[in-house]
Amino acid sequence: MTLLEISDLHVSFRTADGIVQAVRGLSFSVDVGQTLGIVGESGSGKSVSTQTVVGLTRGAQVSGKALFEGHDLLTMSQRELQQVRGSKIGMIFQDPLSSLHPYYRVGWQIAEMIRAHEKHTSKAAARARAIDLLGLVGISQPARRVDDFPHQFSGGMRQRAMIAMAMSLQPKLLIADEPTTALDVTVQAQVLKVMQRLQAEFGTAIVLITHDLGVIAEAADDVVVMYAGAAMEKAPRRQLFYDNHHPYTEGLLQSLPSYGEDRARLRPIPGQPPSLIDLPGGCPFHPRCPYVMDRCRTEEPPLMVVGRRTRHSSACWLPRDPAKRAEVRLQITGVGR
Amino acid sequence: MSDDILISADNVVKHFPVQSGSLLHRSKEVVHAVDGVSLEVRRGETLGLVGETGCGKSTLARCLARLFDITSGKIVFDGRDISRLNPRQMRPLRREMQMVFQDPYGSLNPRRRVGSIIGDPLAIHNIADGQERKRQVQELMELVGLHPEHYNRFPAEFSGGQRQRIGVARALALRPKLIICDEPVSALDVSVQAQIINLLSDLQDFLKLTYIFIAHDLSVVRHVSDRVGVMYLGQIVELAPVSDLYGKARHPYTTALLSGVPVPDPDEAATRHRIVLVGDVPSPIDPPSGCRFHPRCPKAQQRCVDTEPALVPRSGDSELHPTACHFPVAEGEDLTEAVPQISVADRVVEPTSSGGERP
């Protein structure tokens, strides 16, 4: 069942240098209880798109649709959106220090969140729930730590407190924007585990935004790969890693230092991502693509279904059929794969 | 000491005093940032240093480069004891050791042109001026893959990856023997990260450089290093050639670190046994007794609380692979089910100080 369906989302910002086209025609949907991973590099539009959906991008020009349980979030008033944010859509951001208020006790902040949405809940009851939630995300001695200030928590604990807050009203959807990026490896593991446990318990759908393909491999059911404000490829996790179609996806995976093999030379994607003010014509990836064809320079490919799998689509002019694709690639690069 | 050692540290200690308490009841405490580190770096090799936030890896690097005075211990660079040299005495040696920093945005002066940033070391050390300096700078720019005609541009006109190339060019200007890279690729996107890693490795081959490479990303460190040291709370807990460290880690902390890395491979991720450590790194102001890792260690026993383990080869490992652990991990041992054999009071309590996130 679809919980959130975004279609043809465009977001742009007017700046002194020109119009920044941050998101260009993005569509995706999230099913109940599933994790959708959105992966991309800086400036690919992965954060802007979800922030726009929940009404957090002021001054942006937005078009498209974002249906959440059948209601369009993009046409809601700020008041209606405030009702949805927190109670139905929880959010966690990258930096757990700046997302908690430094002057208020952690438990108070969680209780306040609960009381903002549930007027009938007493202070004592909200506090008791805050303690339960802190325990749930694995903070030891929650009854004591509930009165700590954010600076008394470590980075990992703050991020877990943010998860506790985001989950306090058992939202249907959790938007996690780079939730583990600022954390150390051992703490990252704790946070991912907490998120997965809560998802299993409450059936929450998660939109997981990250640049880390390792996190995607571990936690996402379906994946959207973004580049220059648009989706390049959408696929179930295993297809994305083992049977991808788009050269950008392939390039991303190849540029990682592989964990398995020894010091083979890395294969980076040449060049830099394009400026969102002055995008190249045709496919936005064509200046960096090893398989660029004439058509790519003039015509931007739409997302097209790959093979018979309807959940796998790619915005690339290369043939759908693997054998034909290999043939075309060979003609272009002279290298067989 | 043999000739092929470029830099060595012997029991290096760096403590930072901190003041705490009220105005009247001041107590002087010290942060044990680096606490007795000994290591050697051979000419032409890359020594990787890994560890979590606050483990002292960056402080150690700055001590080795003598950007900090050290509290005690000895540092020998190129056969010369540099542990007690003052800044003026260090100055000629600065030509031989350079640093590349993490943040390509913060480490370049935004108001100065790229040509003059890269040319700075040449000016400071009176190596070249005028047209000759410009020629050398442009040569450096070409060496690191920048367009020499961008000599007069400002840092803001370059992307993150290009700025890191500028940082590398500046470090190379004086033809140093040693380059200390402190998280050189962590601020970069993956596709660009790979470009910089390849550049560093090409330069090493071409200019016979020695690197100390600090990073928290274990796959990057594995890719670039010959040997790797794992740090925890100011100490090296395990040091080994890269294949040994990633193939048969002995220290439970190393094992946990390695198991925590998210691998970009769904099938492997599904079958991996991840050791989730409890709690966070304790405060370096008052490090735990005995083995500093004992409060979080799944294998801890009473001995770990009482006695500090020495960094020596264990379980028949070679001299090149010392581990500071009383109960090293055997090959194939599964730590996910291990239960510490120490009293609850000695186990981890979450810290009240901040820590755990990367800068």
Q: What is the ipTM of this complex?
A: 0.81
| Residue A300: pLDDT band with limits 50, 70, 90 | very high
B:112-171 residues touching chain A, CB 8 A cutoff: 159-162
Phi-psi category of residue A281: left, alpha or beta, with phi > 0 → left and psi -120 to 50 → alpha: beta
Say which residue the tokens 């496919």 belong to: A283
Distance CA B1, CA A268 (A): 40
Same domain, A262 and A220: no
- Does one domain contain both A251 and A218? no
Q: Which of B221, B265, B296, B352 is the best residue to mutate to test the A interface, defined by the most A CB atoms within 10 Å of its own CB?
A: B265
Q: Does A62 or A331 have the greater pLDDT score?
A: A62
**Ranges of each domain in chain B:** 1-20+29-96+176-225, 107-172, 250-350
Query: Do B190 and B18 touch, CB atoms closer than 8 A?
Result: no
Query: Please, which residues 221-250 of chain A have a Cβ atom closer than 8 Å to chain B?
Result: 237-238, 241-242
CB contact under 8 A, A154 and B357: yes
The minimum CA-CA distance between A190 and chain B, rounded to whole Å, is 6
Q: What pLDDT, on a 0 to 100 scale, did the predictor assign at position B299?
A: 93
C-alpha A66: how far from chain center: 15
Residues A131 and A73 in one domain: yes
* Burial letters A10-23, b for 16+ CB under 10 A, else e: bbbbeeeeeebbbb
pLDDT at A104: 93
Q: What number of residues does chain A have?
A: 337
A92 shares a domain with A189: yes
Provide the token pair at A273: 């991502």
Residue of A nearest to B283 (CA): A154
pLDDT at residue B271 tops 70: yes
A15 falls within a domain = yes
A322 belongs to a structural domain: yes
A24 and A171 part of one domain: yes
Q: Is residue A229 domain-resident?
A: no
Cβ separation B198–A266 shorter than 8 A? yes
A193 CB neighbours in chain B (<8 A) are: 276
Q: Is residue A21 part of a domain?
A: yes
Q: Which residues of B touch A255 (CB under 8 A)?
A: 190-191, 193-194
A189 contacts on B by Cβ (under 8 Å): 259-260, 274, 276-277
Are the beta carbons of A2 and A30 closer than 8 angstroms? yes
Collect all residues of chain B within an 8 Å Cβ-Cβ radius of residue A242.
Answer: 266
* Site from A226, A256, A267 to mutate, B interface, most B CB atoms within 10 angstroms: A256
Q: State the Cα angle at A232 between A182 and B196, rounded to 5°.
A: 50
Same domain, A187 and A270: no
Total domain count, chain A: 2
Looking at the fold, whether A78 and A181 belong to one and the same domain comes out as: yes
Q: Is the pLDDT of residue A262 over 70?
A: no
Summary mean pLDDT of chain B: 89
Average pLDDT over residues B344-355: 58
Q: Is residue A232 part of a domain?
A: no
| Residue that is written with structure tokens 């028949």 in the block | B316
Query: Which chain A residues are within 8 Å of B161, Cβ to Cβ?
Result: 272
CB contacts of A258 in chain B (<8 Å) are: 219
| Domain containing residue A19: CATH number | 3.40.50.300
What does the pLDDT read at residue B23? 67
Distance in angstroms (rounded) separating the CA atoms of residues B213 and B171: 14
Same domain, A51 and A137: yes
A156 touches chain B (CB under 8 A): yes
**CB B224 within 8 Å of CB B213:** yes
Determine the residue of chain B that is closest to A241 in CA distance: B265
Q: Which residues pair with A233 in a beta bridge?
A: A225, A314
Alpha carbon of residue B140 to chain centroid:
26
Per-residue pLDDT averaged across B175-202, rounded?
90
pLDDT at residue B103 is higher than 70? yes
DSSP conformation letters of A199-257: HHHH--EEEEEES-HHHHHHH-SEEEEEETTEEEEEEEHHHHHHS---HHHHHHHHTSP
Calpha distance A310→B42 (Å, rounded): 55
**What's residue A193's pLDDT?**
84
Same domain, A167 and A49: yes
Q: Domain range holding A325?
A: 246-333
List the one residue out of B272, B281, B288, B282 whose CA is nearest residue B334.
Answer: B272
Say if residue B232's pLDDT is above 90: yes
Residue A259: which pLDDT band, with cuts at 50, 70 and 90? Answer: low
A260 — pLDDT class (breaks 50, 70, 90):
low
Statement to judge: residues A211 and A253 lie in one domain: no
Beta sheet of A18-31, edge-to-edge order: A18-31, A2-15, A61-68, A71-72
A303 lies in a domain?
Answer: yes
Q: Which CATH superfamily is domain B1-20+29-96+176-225 in?
A: P-loop containing nucleotide triphosphate hydrolases (3.40.50.300)
Chain A residues in contact with B197 by the CB 8 A cut-off are 257, 266
- The verdict on a CB contact (< 8 Å) between A186 and B161 is no
* pLDDT the model gives residue A336: 45
Gyration radius of chain B's alpha carbons: 22
B7, two tokens: 């830099």
Decide if A167 contacts A195 (C-beta within 8 A): no
Nearest partner of B256 among B283, B238, B235, B234, judged by Cα: B238
A218 touches chain B (CB under 8 A): yes
Answer whether 0.80 is exceeded by the pTM.
Answer: yes
User: Is A166 part of a structural domain of the chain?
Assistant: yes
Name B157's Cβ contacts closer than 8 Å, sequence gap at least 6: B150
Domain assignment present for residue A236? The answer is no
- Distance separating alpha carbons of residues A69 and A279, to the nearest angstrom: 34
